[in-house]
């Protein structure tokens, strides 16, 4: 039992180190510290200013795509968090507004979303992979993670703020 526990701990440390290294490589072109302007119009016509929103409480910014396989696992978590946290999705290169709105409606996703039709916002932010989750508080980037994350993983990131 002692040997099994030691091996499990070693594997866990290796997985954590690899995960951190992959995130560091994937986010190397992204901004650090001060978040760049992040504004847009939601599918409902609402003007969204993420930096202004973050002055009151943290904002989870979710870069995703309708065609992204990993996003199919993460988006339900993001949608669930939108009940308790400020969430702004940025759907990148996913087609016209009507297509993205239809996709969200068919999956019962209710989080606020800006459709980045041509990927302009994603390029400005240096997004290299979807999904990418950025937590912004008071205009500062507090955490960035890429790829699949779980509800406990996202809660842990939010608790570090």
- Specify the pTM: 0.83
Cα(93)–Cα(100) distance, integer angstroms: 10
Give the pLDDT band (50/70/90) at residue 115: very high
Mean pLDDT of the chain: 89
pLDDT of residue 27 exceeding 80, the answer is no
Query: Domain 2-159 sits in which CATH superfamily?
Result: Glutaredoxin (3.40.30.10)
Give residue 62's pLDDT. Answer: 98
User: In this structure, what are the phi and psi dihedrals at residue 92, rounded to the nearest 5 degrees?
Assistant: -105, 135
The confidence score (pLDDT) of residue 128 equals 83
Q: What is the pLDDT of residues 56-67, one digit of tens each?
A: 999 999 999 999
């Amino acid at each position: 039992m002692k040997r099994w526990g030691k091996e499990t701990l070693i594997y866990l440390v290796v997985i954590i180190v690899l995960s951190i290294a992959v995130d560091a490589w994937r986010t190397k072109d992204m901004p650090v510290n001060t978040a760049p302007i992040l504004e847009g119009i939601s599918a409902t016509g609402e003007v969204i200013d993420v930096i202004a929103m973050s002055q009151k409480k943290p904002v989870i910014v979710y870069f995703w795509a309708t065609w992204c396989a990993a996003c199919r696992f993460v988006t339900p978590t993001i949608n669930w968090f939108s009940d308790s946290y400020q969430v702004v999705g940025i759907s990148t290169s996913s087609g016209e507004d009507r297509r993205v709105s239809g996709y969200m409606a068919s999956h019962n996703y209710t989080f606020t979303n800006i459709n980045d039709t041509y990927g302009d916002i994603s390029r400005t932010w240096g997004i290299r992979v979807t999904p990418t989750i950025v937590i912004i508080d008071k205009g500062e980037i507090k955490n960035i993670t890429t790829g699949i994350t779980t509800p406990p993983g996202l809660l842990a990131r939010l608790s570090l703020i």
